Structure 1
Amino acid sequence: MPDLSHLKRLSAVKSNVGVKFLTPSAFPGSHCPLHPALALAGNIKGLSSLVVGTPECATYSRIVLRNAQDRQGEQHWTYVLDASEVVFGCRKGLMDALQKMDRSGAKAVLLLATCVPDLIGEDIEGLVREAQPKLSMRLISVMMGHFKCNSFPSGSWKTLQAIGVLMEPRTVQPYVINVMGRSPDEKHIPLPSILRVLQQQGFSLRCLAPGASLEDFLAAPDAALNLVLTPFADPLATAMEQSFGIPAFRLHTVYDAAEIAALYAAIAKKLGLQWGNEFNREQLEALSLQEQARKRLNGCRFICTDIGPVRTMPLAAFLTAMGMEPVLLHLEEFWPDDKYWADALNALGYDPLVCHMVNSDADAPLLESLAPDLCLGDLNSVKGRIPCVPYLSDLYGLSGYDRTNSLLKKILHKLEQPSRSKEGGARHGIA
């Protein structure tokens, strides 16, 4: 069996740094946290950006932002460090650049410091504090050193968290709800049933995600509550809970039908409404599918690869509670609350290996050696040799009972199909 001794067990991981690559691979480009940070900056109306780094970072930022609209009061600049600044710092040059952006009409600027400013110890936060009183525009910053992380999600959640710094207290509007993680431009994706029912009850839904405006984010402290649909918005929701007392209800970590019912009841209580029979059909379907899954999945060994916008740890905890055995989990990010989910898995008697998978061709032989009964996520290199549940990105936009039902249907459907090894014989059978 190939050596996996370099990987850590889940119980030994305390942060993202502890999650090792499955194979000696690196994944630059879209895997860099600068990518989602730039994508966010280019898709929040009214937010400008200034990228500080090497010529490579500047070129890359032009590629990511090539479709950014030329909106009034919005600019996307780059500041390329010269050799002297790499050694002695770039404080003076950055101050000059920020003053130019201010004079050019920028309303709010996200300063993105890449690897080199971080490596040389440039005090970006101190510079922001010093510069702000001299500028009419608002200024926020994020450190985007790729060498400090193995993945890209921090580019999204740190940027959203930084935007939260611009928020100020507002009078609460009892019929306004922040939907954190759904874009106002997603007209083609049906509303989750809970959002549809809230609209029917007369609530105004403010979507906070790419496609929203900076003004939407600045108005967010007036909401009665935050509904969190993605992990990328979770740190911002936590910060708003602490700063403004806005309760956050997290839909992206809940799968069990009973837990969904309890969460919906808590939301109804907070808003002072009654759901009636709105979710009865979905709830009954979820309970039925969970019962089928418990019988069918008991003892089934599984691995997780890239599962898109779905968080690995809550999903693994849900499936393990139904009798599945987690063998190896790909963690794109070790999120701030993943220690909670790690404890939940450990309490169930499991301590799986964890890793980053970034090169499916190189990773495939190692994954095959584990002989799992099921793989959650795409794994094209071993197609047909390990039963895979692909297209989990289809769960994007779903929440509550709808998401649980869709997930369990995908898994049960896959396990109805016998898996064949490359030699043509049954390898995993029907788990």
Structure 2
Amino acid sequence: MNQIVELSKIRSNKGVKFTHAAATPGTHCPMHTALSVLLRLDGISSLVVGTSECSYYSKFVTMRSKGSLHYTYVLDEKEVVYGCREGVIDAIAEMDREGAAVILVLLTCVPALIGEDLEGIKYEVKERINANLLMIDVAHYKRNGYDDGFVYTMGQLAELSEVDEETDHDTIVSELTVLGNTKSTEINRLLTYITALGINVNYIESQRHVQDIAKTLTGSSVFLVLNAHYQQLVENLSEKKTISMYSLYNVYTSKEIFAVCEQMLIDFKIPVPEWLLSSYKNLLNAENKHINDKSKGAFAFGLLPVESFSLANYFAYLGHTVSFIHAERINASDEKSRKSLLENGQNPSIGFITNHSEFEKYIKSHQNLSVVEILSHHLDYTTINWTDALEEMAFDRSLKLIQVLESQRELDFEEK
């Protein structure tokens, strides 16, 4: 673990280092995850621009797609040196002639290295095609992992919000659009309450066709964000029009959660229900009790389905020590948690875990260091089950996290 860096020394994404020199087994590149998003969407085609290796591996994803065109443009020796602008423009035009309504162009490492101009290509070809053209840079060398493949692809959907702006009768007018999974019991209860009081709610993840999504985004001005992968989407939408955004994916304290829910309900002119107040008070009491208990632990945060910095910051708020955080990058949304950790005297090591066997040795070499991770069943990190808690949202999630911490503390006490 000689590649890790203290949080206070990191100023940009380039400051996040691999924990070990050798990546085992390595990670997917963002091209792979960008294409995986398209598998659940209808009406959107793709053009991967890169080497023969990019073409080969992209087919493992797109071969499962139905009803859309998924092409690859393989650079020849001359284009690797002098650029591929003309060839890519011709390929886009050909896809347009074959009926592609929306085309997502993915520029991989080589086009990015030689400096191909995404916006220039888009500007030059737009008069020649009828298709809506989206472009993302998914060069793997610019980033540690693959998360940007999700983020950038979802973010580009904001470009489609202009498609049906002139046809108001086709536009879905929605008071609230939910971005993210709604399996959480508490989120479902909140949305059911809102719907019962006459608020129309749309769920992006229940829509498959990009034209339906475009209409929803066009008619929506209020968004509830439950997943970090949609953060770029709402930011892009905010550049087009005035929107209201309420984020619950990265808040954990009782006061933060209640503030978000209360403000959303106030804006809709809906009273705060008694059960929501009760959930707030229950979590607040549990937090105060846990904070006042002097028995605290040290934690390393591994691979998680949530934003690690905001979760780690919550553990610090509860009085625990944050020793290590696995991070692919530091987002703008992480900055608040980053500052809070440092202001509270927490300066954890930051790194991108590339070798899980070596990471296991690191954990075992630090006495009483527990791991917060949902993939730890592959190795002997810990017996703590965090999955059930992290699958929840809002008050339920934080309360279950405290309950897991309390259970672990009791087990540690019994062992001693």
Per the normalisation by structure 1, the TM-score is 0.87
2:276 equivalent to 1:282: no
Written as runs of structure 1 = structure 2, the 5 A alignment for 1:278-427 is 278-296=275-293, 298-307=295-304, 309-377=305-373, 378-380=375-377, 383=380, 387-392=382-387, 395-396=390-391, 398-418=392-412
Q: Which segments of 5 or more consecutive residues in structure 1 lack a partner in the other structure?
A: 421-425
SS of 2:134's partner is strand
Answer yes or no: is the 8 Å Cα contact 2:108–2:139 preserved in 1.
yes
**Partner Cα separation in structure 2 for residue 242 and residue 91 of structure 1:** 28
Q: Which moved more, 1:199-208 or 1:226-235?
A: 199-208
**Partner Cα separation in structure 1 for residue 355 and residue 386 of structure 2:** 18
Q: Deviations over 1:345-389 (max 9, x none)?
A: 111111111001132112211222232432111434762xx5453
The code of the aligned residue for 1:196 comes to T
**Partner Cα separation in structure 2 for residue 210 and residue 203 of structure 1:** 18
With over 3 angstroms needed to count, the CA separation of the structure-2 counterparts of 1:332 and 1:211, relative to structure 1, is farther
Written as runs of structure 1 = structure 2, the 5 A alignment for 1:11-26 is 11-26=8-23
**How much does 1:144 deviate?**
0.6
Answer yes or no: is the 8 Å Cα contact 2:49–2:75 preserved in 1.
yes
Equivalent position to 1:203, from 185, 199, 203: 199
Q: Which moved more, 1:290-299 or 1:254-263?
A: 290-299
**How much does 1:336 deviate?**
1.8
The code of the aligned residue for 2:387 comes to L
Alignment-derived partner of residue 34 in structure 1:
31
SS of 2:323's partner is strand
Q: Which moved more, 1:121-130 or 1:201-210?
A: 201-210
With over 3 angstroms needed to count, the CA separation of the structure-2 counterparts of 1:381 and 1:207, relative to structure 1, is closer
Alignment-derived partner of residue 237 in structure 1:
234
SS of 1:52's partner is strand
The code of the aligned residue for 2:283 comes to A
**Partner Cα separation in structure 2 for residue 382 and residue 262 of structure 1:** 39
Equivalent position to 2:161, from 167, 185, 195: 167
The code of the aligned residue for 2:246 comes to F
**How much does 1:419 deviate?**
9.3
Answer yes or no: is the 8 Å Cα contact 1:301–1:327 preserved in 2.
yes
**How much does 1:48 deviate?**
1.1
**Partner Cα separation in structure 2 for residue 306 and residue 182 of structure 1:** 19
In the comparison of the two structures, how many residue pairs are matched?
409
With over 3 angstroms needed to count, the CA separation of the structure-2 counterparts of 1:336 and 1:209, relative to structure 1, is farther
With over 3 angstroms needed to count, the CA separation of the structure-2 counterparts of 1:193 and 1:341, relative to structure 1, is same
Equivalent position to 1:192, from 184, 188, 192: 188
**How much does 1:338 deviate?**
1.6
Alignment-derived partner of residue 228 in structure 1:
225
Alignment-derived partner of residue 158 in structure 1:
152
Answer yes or no: is the 8 Å Cα contact 1:10–1:354 preserved in 2.
yes
Answer yes or no: is the 8 Å Cα contact 1:23–1:357 preserved in 2.
yes
Equivalent position to 2:64, from 63, 67, 73: 67
The code of the aligned residue for 1:392 comes to T
Alignment-derived partner of residue 244 in structure 2:
247
The code of the aligned residue for 2:43 comes to G
Answer yes or no: is the 8 Å Cα contact 2:158–2:236 preserved in 1.
yes
**Partner Cα separation in structure 2 for residue 189 and residue 45 of structure 1:** 29
Q: Which segments of 5 or more consecutive residues in structure 2 lack a partner in the other structure?
A: none
Alignment-derived partner of residue 180 in structure 2:
181
**How much does 1:412 deviate?**
2.5
**How much does 1:242 deviate?**
3.3
With over 3 angstroms needed to count, the CA separation of the structure-2 counterparts of 1:193 and 1:407, relative to structure 1, is farther
With over 3 angstroms needed to count, the CA separation of the structure-2 counterparts of 1:379 and 1:175, relative to structure 1, is closer
**Partner Cα separation in structure 2 for residue 134 and residue 28 of structure 1:** 44
With over 3 angstroms needed to count, the CA separation of the structure-2 counterparts of 1:159 and 1:382, relative to structure 1, is closer
**How much does 1:190 deviate?**
8.7
**How much does 1:390 deviate?**
3.6
**How much does 1:13 deviate?**
1.4
Answer yes or no: is the 8 Å Cα contact 2:308–2:327 preserved in 1.
yes
Q: Deviations over 1:181-219 (max 9, x none)?
A: 238xx7x99953322222222322222248532123322
Q: Deviations over 1:240-292 (max 9, x none)?
A: 22321111111011111122111111001111111321324433432343234
Answer yes or no: is the 8 Å Cα contact 2:186–2:396 preserved in 1.
no
Answer yes or no: is the 8 Å Cα contact 1:302–1:325 preserved in 2.
yes
**How much does 1:25 deviate?**
2.5
**Partner Cα separation in structure 2 for residue 31 and residue 406 of structure 1:** 31
SS of 1:192's partner is helix
**Partner Cα separation in structure 1 for residue 96 and residue 113 of structure 2:** 27
Answer yes or no: is the 8 Å Cα contact 1:112–1:144 preserved in 2.
yes
Answer yes or no: is the 8 Å Cα contact 2:30–2:138 preserved in 1.
yes
**How much does 1:327 deviate?**
0.7
2:254 equivalent to 1:260: no
**Partner Cα separation in structure 1 for residue 361 and residue 206 of structure 2:** 38
Answer yes or no: is the 8 Å Cα contact 1:330–1:355 preserved in 2.
yes
Q: Deviations over 1:152-175 (max 9, x none)?
A: 111111112222123236889875
**Partner Cα separation in structure 2 for residue 14 and residue 163 of structure 1:** 30
Answer yes or no: is the 8 Å Cα contact 1:374–1:388 preserved in 2.
no
Alignment-derived partner of residue 423 in structure 1:
none
Answer yes or no: is the 8 Å Cα contact 1:192–1:399 preserved in 2.
no
Answer yes or no: is the 8 Å Cα contact 1:238–1:248 preserved in 2.
no
Per the normalisation by structure 2, the TM-score is 0.90
Answer yes or no: is the 8 Å Cα contact 1:173–1:224 preserved in 2.
no
- Identity among equivalent positions (%) equals 26
2:90 equivalent to 1:96: yes
**Partner Cα separation in structure 2 for residue 44 and residue 333 of structure 1:** 27
